[in-house]
């Protein structure tokens, strides 16, 4: 089977939680190349990914992407092209995220807001920009962001948890993915709320 007929999926935050679950599901399908993007290639949880069951003609590639670092996504794409002969990506799932600080608007610090924004908002933006050329080579490209009800303006009354830094960072991520939808009508893009 040629590499162009395989489905290629990239998932960030792929070595635990929801990300690992997504990796497991895609590896259980035939003819899929799963790219597991993680912060630490040497961690026990990353190394454990290689023992996940794989369906016929499916394979796993691990790459380093720290979502807080713009250059990581760029370097990962270069590695995928040069070392793994990846010529297209069909699905990108921006799963990596943080909810490092809780608190109401009156008490959050700029540092807490920036920490959340860097990973939860800019991380998906960096990932989209780096993977865009490979997404555009797919016949049905998809860019998915794991969002959150905490980032919904209209749902704020129903979810009054003190998550100002996290919620605002997810609202920005929702905005970016919706904007991608309108700016790139060749790419299916949307946010999903896993909880």
In a domain, 123, yes or no: yes
| 156 assigned to some structural domain | yes
pLDDT, residue 181, reads 97
- For β-strands 7-12 and 91-94, DSSP reports them as parallel
Q: Is 26 an active-site residue?
A: no
Q: Does 142 qualify as catalytic in the annotation?
A: no
Question: What pairing do the DSSP bridges indicate for beta strands 188-192 and 59-64?
Answer: unpaired
In a domain, 171, yes or no: yes
- The pair of structure tokens assigned to 131 is 């993977």
The pLDDT value recorded for residue 101 is 79
Domain harbouring 172, CATH code: 3.40.50.720
Question: Among residues 29, 47, 56, 166, which one is catalytic?
Answer: 166
| pLDDT tens, position by position, 69-114 | 999 999 999 999 999 999 999 999 999 999 877 888 999 999 999 9
d(CA 22, CA 72): 21
pLDDT of residue 2: 53
What's the pLDDT score for residue 194? 87
CA distance linking residue 162 with residue 99, whole number of Å: 11
Q: Which structural domain range is residue 68 located in?
A: 7-192
In a domain, 12, yes or no: yes
pLDDT tens digits, one per residue of 112-156: 999 999 999 999 999 999 999 999 999 999 999 999 888 887 877
The tens digit of pLDDT for each residue in 12-30 reads: 999 999 999 999 999 999 9
Residue 165 counted as domain residue: yes
pLDDT at site 3: 55
Contact between residue 71 and residue 45 where contact means Cβ atoms under 8 Å apart: no
Burial of 64 (0-12, 13-18, 19+ CB in 10 A): middle
Q: What is the pLDDT of residues 27-62, one digit of tens each?
A: 999 999 999 999 999 999 999 999 999 999 999 999
Question: Each residue of 145-188: pLDDT tens digit?
Answer: 999 888 887 877 877 778 889 999 999 999 999 999 999 999 99
- Hey, what are 14's tokens? 């792929």
Distance separating alpha carbons of residues 10 and 132, to the nearest angstrom: 12
Number of folded domains that form the chain: 1
**Whole-structure pTM value:** 0.94
Reported residue count of the chain is 195
Q: What whole-number distance in Å separates Cα of residue 45 and Cα of residue 182?
A: 37
Catalytic residue among 29, 54, 137, 170: 170
Residue 187 lies in a domain: yes
């Amino acid at each position: 089977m040629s590499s162009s007929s395989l489905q290629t999926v990239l998932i960030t935050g792929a070595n635990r939680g929801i990300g690992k679950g997504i990796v497991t599901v895609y590896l259980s399908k035939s003819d899929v190349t799963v790219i597991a993007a993680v912060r630490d290639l040497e961690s026990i949880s990353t190394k454990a990914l290689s023992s996940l069951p794989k369906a016929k003609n499916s394979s796993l590639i691990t790459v380093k992407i720290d979502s807080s670092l713009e250059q990581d996504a760029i370097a990962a794409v270069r590695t995928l092209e040069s070392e793994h002969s990846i010529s297209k990506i069909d699905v990108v799932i921006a799963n990596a995220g943080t909810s490092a600080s809780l608190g109401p608007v009156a008490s959050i610090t700029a540092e807490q807001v920036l920490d959340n924004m860097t990973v939860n908002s800019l991380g998906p933006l960096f990932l989209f920009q780096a993977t865009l050329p490979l997404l555009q080579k797919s016949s049905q490209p998809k860019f998915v962001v794991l969002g959150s009800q905490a980032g919904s303006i209209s749902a704020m009354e129903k979810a009054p948890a003190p998550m100002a830094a996290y919620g605002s960072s997810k609202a920005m991520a929702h905005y970016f993915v919706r904007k991608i939808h309108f700016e790139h009508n060749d790419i299916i893009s949307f946010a999903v709320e896993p909880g």
